[in-house]
A and B are shown apart, each in its own frame.
Chain A
Amino acid sequence: SQQGEEDPQALSIQEGENATMNCSYKTSINNLQWYRQNSGRGLVHLILIRSNEREKHSGRLRVTLDTSKKSSSLLITASRAADTASYFCATDGDFNKFYFGSGTKLNVKP
């Protein structure tokens, strides 16, 4: 399976701290994306990183990609209570077909 796997499964931090989530996948990819899902809601796209990129930033988000290790990390800096959600990585191969990981559940305590 090409499905990504996130680590840790759950993470609890205090507001203001940084949160780091990791994603590992099994086969070569074209792109890797990160999505956020608030409880009971649909998924929201956060950031995309292409296979020829190593790092990307968007606001408080920083994503890295290491294709040699087949892994990616998502860093959320200065976390807020509103960042509490599940975070999923999604890898895509042919035909824009996505494989989602099992997610990291982040809890940011105020």
Chain B
Amino acid sequence: EAGVAQSPRYKIIEKRQSVAFWCNPISGHATLYWYQQILGQGPKLLIQFQNNGVVDDSQLPKDRFSAERLKGVDSTLKIQPAKLEDSAVYLCASSSGLAGGETQYFGPGTRLLVL
């Protein structure tokens, strides 16, 4: 079974530029998550999708971050414009459904550096 795929693995941009990350979850997984992990901290949930609908985006800075999951499969996360404090690893995860206590499977992450 293929795991969660993310690209790119690394990205360096200047502040005020825009950037996009892509995630392809495990086949058949209904729920997809985007997390932001700042160095030395735990992952912080940015947005959670079930199929192509948003379940929770309460911690997504909507003035600069956007995400979509067209057709309920892969997803993109965009930052526009980027700030220095957006430097972090962006992790995508998926799980099979919304039943409680399901395991999340994580991709390798995209490491973003904003200069």
Chain A residues with CB under 8 Å of chain B are 3, 30-31, 33, 35, 40-45, 48, 50, 88, 90, 92, 95-103
Chain B residues with CB under 8 Å of chain A are 4, 31, 33, 35, 40-45, 48, 55-56, 91, 93, 95, 97-109, 111
Residues of B within 8 A of A48 (CB): 101, 103
Residue contact A96 to B100, C-beta cutoff 8 Å: yes
Residue contact B48 to A33, C-beta cutoff 8 Å: no
- Bound state CA distance, A98 and B109, in angstroms? 17
For B56, the closest partner residue in chain A by CB is A97
Q: A100-B42, A100-B43 are in contact. Are A95 and B98 (CB under 8 A)?
A: yes
Q: How far apart are B26's CB and chain A's nearest CB, in angstroms?
A: 13
Residues of B within 8 A of A41 (CB): 108-109
- Bound state CA distance, A100 and B41, in angstroms? 9
For B31, the closest partner residue in chain A by CB is A96
- Bound state CA distance, A3 and B59, in angstroms? 13
Q: How far apart are A2's CB and chain B's nearest CB, in angstroms?
A: 11
Residues of A within 8 A of B31 (CB): 96
A97's partner among B42, B48, B106, B108 (CB-CB below 8 A) is B48
Residues of B within 8 A of A43 (CB): 43, 91, 93, 104, 106
Residues of A within 8 A of B43 (CB): 43, 88, 100
Q: A43-B43, A43-B91, A101-B42 are in contact. Are A96 and B106 (CB under 8 A)?
A: no
B55's partner among A33, A35, A50, A95 (CB-CB below 8 A) is A95
